[in-house]
Amino acid sequence: MPQLLFDPPICSAVPPVVVWEVESGASGVTDDVDAAEKAMLDALATRAEGRGQVRLAHLVRVGVGYDYGETLVTAHRKDGVTTIVTGDAWVTTP
């Protein structure tokens, strides 16, 4: 698994999870980067247009949610064609 690029406020013994999401509201959590990317792309393929991303995350110590780290992959779909970009391209994708 890739090394984290942030220092989350959690116990270092707890491994990160992989979170995937698509603008349509589809999302999921897994411990497998490849499975997360496939699930994100499958969800994105059901739309004519949209964006999706796969990120590393840790559960927060207090409350509910995630402390997000590195974006591993960003994808955008337009006119039925999906383009995949390594890393964070969420803001720059159409």
Give the pLDDT confidence score for residue 67 in this predicted structure. Answer: 84
The pLDDT tens digits of the residues spanning 37-54 come to 999 999 999 998 999 999
Place 9 in a pLDDT band, splitting at 50, 70 and 90: low
Give the pLDDT confidence score for residue 1 in this predicted structure. Answer: 43
pTM over 0.75: yes
Give burial (CB, 10 Å; 0-12/13-18/19+) of 88: middle
- With vertex at residue 75, the alpha carbon angle to CA 79 and CA 20, rounded to the nearest 5 degrees, is 125
The pLDDT tens digits of the residues spanning 58-94 come to 887 776 778 888 999 999 999 989 999 998 887 665 5
Phi, psi of 84, rounded to the nearest 5 degrees: -110, 135
